């Protein structure tokens, strides 16, 4: 009896291939060979490989950004939300996300999806921080810092060093709490203070 595959099966395998082998391994033929199906099965679900890429990016965004943000927002209590954010950061498919960034250098569809996910993560983080007492400027700076730290460590550490990631993001959270509570002499640098520091080193 023929094996019946769903689009979800292709997306899950696609992320796994990105995680373990990088984007050159992600082809229609490669997916079908690994799943033990004909290419007709692939094209039953996707109009083209480009259609698959677009939908894969959408699947990745929904599962690893939209759904995670919603679960954090549904949780009661700021501290519990922060802990869940740290947990979710560890559960991301770090190798696949690093592969997306390499792939984005040669594929505009991937680049567009990556920009959308980055902006979604950045704005949701900034919104969360504003709701919990930071100014708009502070929230934007810390959201940029959090995203830059995640992306930088994903590109530096292969395989992902989850302990290092947790240390860095936990330190950012500590700095955020100090900034909000007014207990730090080193407030998050706004654009205005950054310009002042450049003029007066």
* Cβ(110)–Cβ(100) below 8 Å: yes
Q: Grade residue 195 by pLDDT with cuts at 50, 70 and 90.
A: very low
What value does the mean pLDDT take over residues 72-97?
A: 95
* Cβ(103)–Cβ(110) below 8 Å: yes
Find where tokens 């991937």 sit.
110
Phi-psi region of 77 (alpha: psi -120 to 50; beta: other; left: phi over 0): left
pTM of the model: 0.86
Phi-psi region of 36 (alpha: psi -120 to 50; beta: other; left: phi over 0): left
Over the stretch 87-108, which tens digit does the pLDDT of each residue have?
999 999 999 999 999 999 999 9
Q: Grade residue 2 by pLDDT with cuts at 50, 70 and 90.
A: low
Whether residue 39 is predicted with pLDDT greater than 80 in this model: the reply is yes
Ranges 42-51, 85-94, 181-190: which has the least confidence: 181-190
pLDDT value of residue 189: 53
Q: Grade residue 182 by pLDDT with cuts at 50, 70 and 90.
A: confident
Q: Grade residue 197 by pLDDT with cuts at 50, 70 and 90.
A: very low
What value does the mean pLDDT take over residues 175-190?
A: 70
Q: Where are the domains of the chain?
A: 7-199
Whether residue 193 is predicted with pLDDT greater than 90 in this model: the reply is no
Of all residues in the chain, the percent with pLDDT exceeding 70 is 89
Name the DSSP letter for residue 64. Answer: I
Whether residue 48 is predicted with pLDDT greater than 90 in this model: the reply is yes
CATH architecture classification, 7-199? Orthogonal Bundle (1.10)
Whether residue 194 is predicted with pLDDT greater than 50 in this model: the reply is no
């Amino acid at each position: 009896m023929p094996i019946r595959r769903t689009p979800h099966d292709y997306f899950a395998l696609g992320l796994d291939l990105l995680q373990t082998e990088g984007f050159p391994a992600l082809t229609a033929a490669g997916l079908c060979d690994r799943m033990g199906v004909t290419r007709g099965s692939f094209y039953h679900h996707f109009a083209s490989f480009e259609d698959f890429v677009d939908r894969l990016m959408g699947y990745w965004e929904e599962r690893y950004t939209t759904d995670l943000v919603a679960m954090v927002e549904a949780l009661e209590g700021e501290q519990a939300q922060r802990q869940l954010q740290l947990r979710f950061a560890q559960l991301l498919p770090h190798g696949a996300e690093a592969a997306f960034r390499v792939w984005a250098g040669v594929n505009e569809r991937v680049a567009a999806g990556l920009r959308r996910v980055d902006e979604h993560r950045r704005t949701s983080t900034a919104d969360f921080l504003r709701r919990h007492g930071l100014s708009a400027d502070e929230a934007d700076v810390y959201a940029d810092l959090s995203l830059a730290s995640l992306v930088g460590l994903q590109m530096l550490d292969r395989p992902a060093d989850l302990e290092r990631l947790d240390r860095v993001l936990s330190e950012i959270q500590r700095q955020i709490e100090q900034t909000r509570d007014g207990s730090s002499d080193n407030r998050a640098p706004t654009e205005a203070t950054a310009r002042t520091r450049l003029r007066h080193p």
